[in-house]
């Protein structure tokens, strides 16, 4: 079964494949094939960490896919909202305000 995050990820991967096919291979084999599959953290926990990192580093290009992946991995919209709120005090208000805008679009499309 294809999930919304699969479609977002597939589109980004297709674009990346045109420019940097080796990066796609490394992402698939190492990042998602090994790192995301390690047993000490769940995929849900990894999603939470990834979302927090992307927001904190102001790396918003990948947030839509990771918000959706987080939902698919068991995070709730409320938990994602709580992460965004918490990070306003550590990463800055602009980071959280932008993340809210992106999350709102993802949440609207996931219903």
CATH classification at residue 75:
1.20.1290.10
What's the whole-number mean pLDDT along residues 78-83? Answer: 98
Q: Does the pLDDT of residue 88 top 90, yes or no?
A: yes
**How many domains does the chain contain in total?**
1
Interatomic CA distance for residues 88 and 86, integer angstroms: 5
Specify the pTM: 0.85
DSSP 1: -
Mean pLDDT of 40-63: 97
**Which residue range is the domain that position 65 belongs to?**
4-109
Please state, for a pLDDT cut of 70, what percent of the chain lies above it. 91
**What local confidence, expressed as pLDDT, does residue 32 receive?**
94
pLDDT at residue 79, rounded to an integer: 98
Residue 47 in contact with residue 75, Cβ under 8 Å? yes
Sign for the pseudo-dihedral over CA of 87, 6, 77, 41:
negative
């Amino acid at each position: 079964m294809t999930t919304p995050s699969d479609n977002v990820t597939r589109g980004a991967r297709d674009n990346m494949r045109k420019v940097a096919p080796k990066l796609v291979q490394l992402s698939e084999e190492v990042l998602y094939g090994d790192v995301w599959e390690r047993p000490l953290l769940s995929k849900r926990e990894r999603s939470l960490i990834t979302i927090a990192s992307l927001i904190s580093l102001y790396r918003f290009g990948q947030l839509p896919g990771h918000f959706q992946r987080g939902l698919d991995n068991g995070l709730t919209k409320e938990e994602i909202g709580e992460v965004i709120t918490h990070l306003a005090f550590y990463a800055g208000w602009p980071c959280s305000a932008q993340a809210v805008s992106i999350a709102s679009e993802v949440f609207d499309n996931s219903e």
